Amino acid sequence: MDAQRAQEIASSPVMANVSFNGAKVYIEHVDQEVGKATVHTLHQPENKQSVSVDHLTEQ
């Protein structure tokens, strides 16, 4: 995924089907300048991590 699409998903009121390493995640924030997104799994919202948007997959 590219940073532009990740930002569109993060800004959308509709939940998109996005995964990181096979786990479904929610995109909280995107830093388009560095190509990183803050995400958390759907079942562990307290477990946030910063990942490269290149590693996010939209289903």
- Specify the pLDDT at position 55: 98
Amino acid 48: pLDDT: 97
Q: What is the pLDDT of residues 1-38, one digit of tens each?
A: 999 999 999 999 999 999 999 999 999 999 999 999 99
CA distance 44 to 2: 24
- Rounded to two decimals, the pTM is 0.91
What residue ranges do the domains of the chain occupy? 3-58
Whether the CB-CB separation of 49 and 39 falls below 8 Å is answered with yes
Burial status of residue 51 (CB atoms within 10 A of its CB: 0-12, 13-18, 19 or more): middle
Q: Which CATH architecture has domain 3-58?
A: Roll (2.30)
pLDDT for the residue numbered 17: 96
Which residues sit opposite 18 in a β-bridge?
25, 58
Give the number of other CB atoms < 10 A from CB of residue 56: 22
pLDDT given for residue 16 in this prediction: 94
Q: What confidence category does residue 40 fall into, taking pLDDT thresholds of 50, 70 and 90?
A: very high
